[in-house]
Amino acid sequence: MTVNHRSIIGSALQSCRVEPRYQDLASDAIPVATTDNGGVSVKVIASECLGVRSPLRPRTPALCLDVALRPGVRLHQPIPRGWTACAYVIDGEAHFGGEGATSAGARTLVVFGDGDGDVVDVCAEASGARVMVVAARPHGEAVVRDGPFVMNTREEVEQAREDFRHRRNGFEMANGWTSDHAVAATAR
């Protein structure tokens, strides 16, 4: 099974009006961390896990891990204090936390609350599990999304859409935008 995902990391208002920056990380370049017994394998997309660090350096610190667990195996992932975290069970079944753990099956999102501590503790059930763990520091601002546009107000979303239509905002279609990838695709 192939799972593709696209991560967009939002910035606080004071830092979102900076020069756009894109970092590409091909799937074969994502570092993989494993436990000594091989029971846990983690693609470290952003941040760090089991001593392995991602080469991505987002402006807004964030954690993104694609975790595969064998049956009965546990991962205890530290999360910086004050960050918000969630986990999406891609496949299998897992439980989160210690006593009174929350169980979740495939295609289930688990959102951790403020009182959940500074760790995500996940353990695979009998069939094993694959889980995407994501965390970041909340910026405490309103978020309005419409299609690919994510801003703080409906008016800003409409302005971004208008800028996109008129090639004024640094997106791929913007006047003067160039890319080695675009040149290679055109040559094919």
3-state secondary structure the chain: CCCCCCCCCCCCHHHHCCCCCCCCCCHHHCCEEECCCCCEEEEEEECEECCEECCCCCCCCEEEEEEEECCCCEEEEECCCCCEEEEEEEEEEEEECCCCCEEEECCEEEECCHHHCCEEEEEEEEEEEEEEEEEECCCCCCCEEECCEEECCHHHHHHHHHHHHCCCCCCCCCCCCCCHHHHHHHHC
CATH class name, domain 21-136 = mainly beta
Instruction: Give the residue extent of every domain in the chain.
Output: 21-136, 144-187
Reading the chain (188 residues) residue by residue, the pLDDT tens digits are: 333 444 445 555 555 566 767 788 899 999 999 999 999 999 999 999 999 999 998 888 899 999 999 999 999 999 998 899 999 999 999 999 877 788 999 999 999 877 566 899 999 999 999 999 999 988 888 989 998 888 899 999 999 899 888 877 665 555 666 666 544 444 44
Q: Output the pLDDT for position 164.
A: 83
Query: What pLDDT is stored for residue 45 in this prediction?
Result: 96
